[in-house]
Chain A
């Protein structure tokens, strides 16, 4: 039965219930996430105190795990906006239980991804020198640098996606402010900005959400294009590619949908939302994931085939390192995880189910992390002057900071799910706009 057909009172109860009470599993998960997160913070502290030498970076591989993580998390952040904005603009009815989970994923992935450009700085405490403001150094930042475009794009995206998450939360928070514990009542009342549910307010909200959906789509596409340009603007072999912008956007949406599927199946189990996140939603998202998998394959083939056919020795050094050399295991694992497994699991109708979709999604998330690794490292390890060729392996500092980001995502998501209903409740309420 589609969740829309349940009585509204029942929906309200089902979706507000997870907000109260803390189960044993919740407590255990919190402790684990906390410990892993603190370990990562300590590793970062150690790196700040000693210097970047505690990482596995070495000339000429100056970008490693941190940049891979950065691109990876910014990629994950494309789940929310793309899915929810496209579905909202096309008024797809099945979006309702999916949008908020996706929008929250965007905001948290951005918060985490946005940390990495700072973590990877040699002098991280001076990160604000990237921000254009009148300062005592009488120096503006260099607007020609792709890193500055990056900063601009990501800050815009963070602000936009927070607003985009916040707007549809307002009616729910107004409802939550009605009957609740005193501190929660205060919190929700403050956050709902005096929402009363009048016709005018609904109209304004509807308009604002439509507008934000349009804006956020454009911003999302531009953000990952700019991230790609961090690489494509450099003259390094196999980075200097015009295809990188769209290639990265496709990869980002691909990994974003996969991350959303994982989050959804976790929420379904943990918060008992079986009635709301139904096989139907998973099936629809699986089809999208399959489509993105094929699109990703197309871009990957286009990128690598042209390099191989062109046979430029500098590019072939990188190509060789990727497909036959030291990075071949990563490359071929990536192909299997991003294409072969999802293609089998999602392409064969008989196999399509929540469990297989989740397995395919986990494969894709891992595969897309590897994809970024395969793009970042082999190019740097094989510079134009082959005498300087080198290799890269991370140290425990980089590994524990990377692990901490996954813990941070879990933590943020768990806190969010305790404070706000993870499915937009009001969307199920037939309101004037939908009745017309």
Chain B
């Protein structure tokens, strides 16, 4: 995935889309005050300068799907592991909730189910049938909308054609009005995301840790 920070307006449409797509539970105002919210993608804000001359920078942060993910080796039950496609996936049924993965994630993008999930009416009526609702006591995080990847592959196979660039759009990418986010196959050098990753403006978050993240942030160097 590539995210153009110079385009991002911080509108949080991606956050809402992710909630709807992935059946994310709602913590409510009290839960939010206790730091119990779960947003698989969140907008981090960075402020520059002193009031009134303030500049805000927005940065959507989601699971970076690291190639050398620090969360993976520490999980004692293989609940989080690298799948053959290179995604960092979370198997809810295997998770027993040791919290170790979340402690070892430098991006703090792992979210815990503190209670059984709840939705305010009528949101429970719009659950996505393709995504499991997670039980209390397990860790969860962004999946790059693995259900959409699967569906796109299946329909491409049904049509008898190879998966084309742009066939898969995670909910956040689809909902981004500024078109700041691009999703695709990094192994394909001609894909849009690969070209953006090669762009001179491209950087990766906390790259110095050697995690080899798969999300590329584009921003003007100053």
A: residues with CB less than 8 A from B are 50-53, 57-60, 62-63, 117, 120-124, 126-127, 129-130, 137, 139, 141-142, 144-148, 151, 230, 233-236, 380, 383-385, 387-388, 390
Contact = CB atoms under 8 A, between A and B. Distances in A.
B99 A142 contact: no
A59 B103 contact: no
Contacts, number: 137
A141 to B, nearest CB: 5
A117 B99 CA distance: 11
10 contacts: A51-B113, A51-B116, A53-B115, A63-B99, A122-B98, A122-B136, A123-B95, A145-B74, A151-B76, A384-B106
B112 A121 contact: no
B214 interface: no
A142 B73 contact: yes
A121 B97 contact: yes
Interface residue SS majority, chain B: loop
Interface residues of B, number: 44
Nearest to B35: A58
Contacts of B139: 122
B111 A142 contact: no
Given A122-B95, A147-B76, A58 B36 contact: yes
Contact of B104 (A148, A151, A235): A235
Closest A-B pairs by Cβ, 5 of them: A122-B97, A53-B114, A58-B35, A122-B137, A62-B99
Contact of A60 (B74, B108, B115, B135): B108
Nearest to A233: B74
A306 B179 CA distance: 46
A60 B108 CA distance: 7
B112 A122 contact: yes
A123 B76 CA distance: 14
A148 B100 CA distance: 12
B39 to A, nearest CB: 10
A20 to B, nearest CB: 46
A191 to B, nearest CB: 36
B119 interface: no
B96 A129 contact: yes
A234 B69 CA distance: 12
B77 A130 contact: yes
Given A52-B137, A380-B103, 20 more contacts: A52-B114, A53-B36, A59-B36, A59-B37, A59-B102, A59-B112, A60-B108, A117-B98, A122-B112, A122-B139, A129-B76, A142-B78, A145-B76, A234-B74, A234-B103, A235-B104, A235-B209, A384-B108, A384-B206, A390-B35
A236 to B, nearest CB: 6
A387 B106 contact: no
Nearest to B81: A142
